[in-house]
Chains A and B, each alone.
Chain A
Amino acid sequence: MTVVYWLAYGLLGVGALLALVRLGIGPSLLDRVVATDTLLVIIAAGLAVHAGLQRDPTVVPVLVVVSLLAFVGSVSVARYIGGMLVSSTGDGQDVGLPEAGEERIARSLEADR
């Protein structure tokens, strides 16, 4: 059983660490939103794993709260960024699509080489 503990928490922990990496380096706000969402769901999964392995039902209500919090958080940030949308042409449409930030970086790396 100990092996199972270490394996499950190890997998979840590495996943959470990788999500934290994206949270740290993610070039845009949306990357960070996605990373936060993933992180919260991994935390919820960790709580559920704890509840299942220890047969401990006390953390289950916390699980409900965390899973709903992830949804509310990402939707509110998405709405906030959506409110920043600009329509510069005046007819309600967005202007065309310039390159994404990552694409610009990739192009400049290509040019350097």
Chain B
Amino acid sequence: MSEVQTAADVLAVVLLLLGAFLCLTAGLGLVRFPDVLTRMHAGTKPQVLGVLLIMVGAAIRLQGWSATWMLLLVAVFQMLTAPVSAHMISRVAYRRRHVRRDRLFVDELRTGEASDRLYRGDEPADAPPEEPARALVESRREDGDLAPD
């Protein structure tokens, strides 16, 4: 009995440490990666695996079924909700142009070649102009495309 207990404890501790290490890589990736999409890969993916490992480890250590059911529920919620939020954020990130195109190998989703300087990111200074027509003319004049009148 006690040997089984010890083996279970060792397994649980190993799982907990592995999960904690994956959470560390999530934070590390957040800081090291170059743009929002790659940061999301780092932030949300090792997380899922890490949280699953930690839940299994905690479920082994905890006695009583009540806590085990709740941990199972957390794991299921995590697996159901993480893709949804990742998808929503990544779609917004793509359409708000947070993608570093110089780091992309190929972009097959790109629709148009035209780029404009009016609508940029979601910084406060990047808010859409109140009068798009006049702002467009001004930005072209800054670029030297248009002769000043």
Contact = CB atoms under 8 A, between A and B. Distances in A.
Direct contact of A and B (CB under 8 A): yes
A106 B64 CA distance: 54
Contact of B112 (A18, A19, A48, A95): A95
Contacts, number: 241
B10 to A, nearest CB: 10
Interface residues of B, number: 76
Given A64-B70, A78-B85, A78-B88, A102 B34 contact: yes
Given A8-B20, A48-B54, A57-B62, A103 B47 contact: no
B74 interface: yes
Contacts of B102: 103, 106-107
A82 B88 contact: yes
A78 B31 contact: no
Interface of A: 4, 7-9, 11-12, 14-19, 21-22, 27-31, 33-35, 37-38, 41-42, 44-45, 48-49, 51-53, 55, 57, 60-61, 63-64, 67-68, 70-71, 74-75, 78-79, 81-82, 84-86, 88, 93-103, 106-107
